[in-house]
Homo-oligomer: A and B are copies of this chain.
Amino acid sequence: MTDLDLKELQRRLAEFAAARDWQQYHTPKNLASALSVEAAELVEIFQWLTPEQSAKVMDDPKFAHRVTDEVADVLAYLLQFCEVLGIDAAAALAAKIERNEQRFPVGSAEPKIPRRHSTE
């Protein structure tokens, strides 16, 4: 991870949209939809791969480029969404991690999936 911070990226995205008069499209509702569309484009890359193939996806430069590009798009719409609603994404995540550390104590952690399925 570089030292580029989210605040700076969010500001550049806001300037980019303003310069092109795209803010009119950037309702929270539309940005949430756009975020989900980009997330689906990431899923699409993996949809027919086995778990093992999915773990090697960066070995193929063409796949690696697509994956990296979709990551950028997801982050871009997440930051634009946060911009229009005044949300601090990094602070929200830090708070969530703290809550989850209480909710899922180490050692007594529930498995992510029901026992029936995780053990069969």
A: residues with CB less than 8 A from B are 1-7, 9-10, 12-13, 16, 19-22, 25, 27-30, 32-37, 39-51, 53-58, 60, 62-63, 67-69, 71-76, 78-79, 81-82, 84-97, 100-101, 104, 106, 109, 112-114, 116-118, 120
Contacts and interface: CB of A to CB of B under 8 A. Distances in A.
User: Chain A binding site: helix, strand, loop or mixed by DSSP?
Assistant: helix
Contacts of A19: 106
Contacts of A85: 57-58, 67
Contacts of A39: 32, 35-36, 39-40, 74
A-B pairs, top 7 by smallest CB distance, nearest first, are A40-B40, A1-B7, A29-B54, A72-B96, A36-B39, A72-B92, A29-B46
